[in-house]
Structure 1
């Protein structure tokens, strides 16, 4: 991960650089003593992780994060005060460390950031035009993943539903599940796999996709709730 240190205290920056050097998964791409300089750096260069102080002259660390817009590096706040913790975690930061930063606490925070980084990479690895090949009757057909709304197990067959039709493939739902990227698709019932981004509404134990009702089993409800970004 490319990381940027932002702190107006030179001693704190020096300490953080020493900690960064202990983890080979981190590449230090720079250090900034104020948020404005950091903002310009983030806008111009690829930065995956910010090691960010909060209380700084001018724009503070929380204001910097809010100003980044579509740029969304992973954030680890490092600060001498606990007062900002609640506001910081509302920004979905990876961690919040109070100074002085110990090696153990730093490595714990980096591990959290690493997991988020892996998750982000999985989210972008499947392109919009990614596809699978299916055998539909006697025809081998290319089917774009983005067209698939959901899959339904029907005996020895699985129906793959698109907006205006469905395809029946001779397969088990488990086999189909193994072919679909888990960053887009999710099992919600022993007989159904859905594309999360295609959900229109959810009410009780039923979700609606393209005016079709799909049941959600209790055993899968927690996993579904984790995937949804509900405001």
Structure 2
């Protein structure tokens, strides 16, 4: 989430009326950017694979796959606010670290509290990173604030609510997202090639069948990032 830019969200609910009501409430709050709606978890999973969002509004009981089942299979879960007509899933939901659990029907004031909580968590992730120069970035690793030389970075890998930054012989884990890292990194040196990977272009050993190899690690290139990668390679 860039400075002065609203956080993005996706609404997932099999009930068209429920989706419309939630959209109208969010538009009243006006602190969040709705980028889409899905009527089931299968469509939501595909949408989340194609784009990164900040906040997920997710119904639980849906045909085919429930909202909780979706959360279990997502490799990189957005901040999630569950919306449901039943209270019985609350314990399981909070064990999955959801931001909030809203029981329908809910008032705009209750929704506002959930959104504010999610935005504060997003700001907390942003505070884990601080750009200091084109070649360095401060990262917060547990209780340690480390000055990281970007010239050493091989690639970055999303791990749920965390990012693992790989350098030769070691890695650092920070509480952040690839999107936030992408916004802090100098352009031209790093490139997003997959929903779960950012690579250092000058650390590429070779590319075969749209799989990037860096220091023995095979990193897949998604179709949506393929053209951008080829453009940045400046092939002869």
Q: TM-score, normalised by structure 1?
A: 0.56
Alpha-carbon separation, structure 1, partners of 2:24 and 2:32: 12
Q: Distance in 2 between matches of 1:52 and 1:11?
A: 14
Match of 2:68 in 1: 62
User: What is the match of residue 117 of structure 1?
Assistant: 122
Count of residues paired in the alignment: 140
- CA offset at residue 185 of structure 1? 6.7
Cα 1:130–1:86 shift into 2, 3 Å: same
Give the structure, 1 or 2, with the largest relative contact order (CA under 8 Å, sep 6 or more). Answer: 2
What residue in structure 1 maps to residue 3 of structure 2?
A: none
- Structure 2 residue 75 is the aligned partner of structure 1 residue 35: no
| 2:116 partner SS | helix
1:49 aligns with 2:22: no
2:110 maps to 1:105: yes
Structure 2 unpaired stretches of 5+: 1-6, 147-174, 176-236
The residue matched to 1:29 in structure 2 has which SS?
Answer: strand
Candidates 76, 91, 94, aligned match of 2:96: 91
SS in 2 for 1:113: helix
Please, what TM-score do these two structures have when normalized by structure 2?
0.54
Q: What is the root-mean-square deviation in Å for CA atoms of aligned residues?
A: 2.4
CA displacement 1:178-209 (0-9 Å, x = unmatched): xxx6x4474xxxxxxx459xxxxxxxxxxxxx
Cα distance in 2 for partners of 1:72, 1:32 equals 16
| CA shift digits 1:125-179 (9 cap, x unpaired) | 458x636xxxxxxxxxxxxx6xxxxxxxxxxxxxxxxxxxxxxxxxxxxxxxxxx
Gap change, CA 1:107 and 1:63, over 3 Å in 2: same
